[in-house]
Structure 1
Amino acid sequence: MNKSVVIGAIVVLLAAGGYYQFSYKPAQEAVAAAAQKAEADAAAAKAAADEAAKKAAEEAAAAAAATEAAATEAAAAAGDAAAAATEAAGDAAAAAGDAAAAATEATTEAAGEAAAAATEAAGDAAAAAGDAAATATEAAGDAAAAATDAAAAALDPANFNADGVVALIDGSSLDAATKATLKTAVEAAKSNPALVADTIAQVKTALGM
């Protein structure tokens, strides 16, 4: 009986060893291989992720550099534009100042010339008026002298001319009644030469001569 037990135990051990060799060990090896493969895949995935992250960081840095360069260039361009605008505004202001100064100078010069011309014209007009007044005064004096001479000639008894004496009476400022009386006396002297001297004296008195 002990021999049978030993043989049975040996058979069981052999069966267990066979099961381990043909079932359990291959499963362990498969698990180990799978774990190793998973670890390799994980390492490869990690390396790919690291590479992608590195590439993304490089691209982001390049984009940031390009953006910074563009911003710097834009700022420089804006500064140049502002400087140009400031210079243009300064030039425009200077040109406006020059134009205003020129206009003021031209206006002042024109006003001075106009004032001088007006003064000269006024002087010429005054001189002309003076000359005209002197001429008129002289003419009036000549006319008065001529009238006086004509009146004296007309009232000369030696050169008695009834028509001339009547014309002298009509041209005087005597009233109508006095003129009528004098002209009646002249007409009487025309008919009677003896009355000429008295009539002439009467006319002279009336005329204030």
Structure 2
Amino acid sequence: MRELAMTQRDLGTVKTERDRLTAQLSDLKSQHDRLKSELADRDADRGRFSQKISALEVERDQALQSKNSLFARLTEVVASVSPSVLPAPAESSPKNFPRQPKRSHPASLVQGIPSQRARYIGSSPRRSASPDPFDSRSSSSESSEDSDPKDSSSDETDDSLLAALSSSRSTARRRNTSSPKKPSSTPTPPPVNVDSSSPEHEPQ
């Protein structure tokens, strides 16, 4: 009896194990079927993608052919254009023109222009008529001007201007010394002392 009970117990466990394994097998079969359907879908997608890729390759080839034909037509048009239609070259810049020689002033105009020293003496009346004996620059400039034969006319005009300036200054000094300073005609009034304590201001 004991052995029979053990065998029945073992038989029950075997059955339960068998049922569990059959359930796992059915699950695996369902997963297998699902994976097969997914694989079929992937194959279909791959076929569609390959068709799209082939269509894009055809469009690329057509675009390359149209581009090559357009470039060939453009080169033909450029080659067929006549030179008269092209724009004229730009004019040369005025920098390339030869420079004209400078005009030289005639000798008559150069002689007629007064010297800078005469203009300076005529425009500045404050300059002293008599030269400074301690000024080496004035003596050297006068000696160099006297030694230059080209400025003889300017030296004569300078001497005459210096003489006229000295005479006018001497007459002005004589007039200033001869005429004394006149007093002012309006006498200054005496200061008024206003004092409240003085008898003149007391009320009568």
Question: TM-score of the superposition, structure 2-length normalised?
Answer: 0.38
TM-score by length of structure 1 reads: 0.38
Q: Which has the higher contact order (CA 8 A, sep 6+)?
A: 2
Pick the structure with more helix per residue: 1
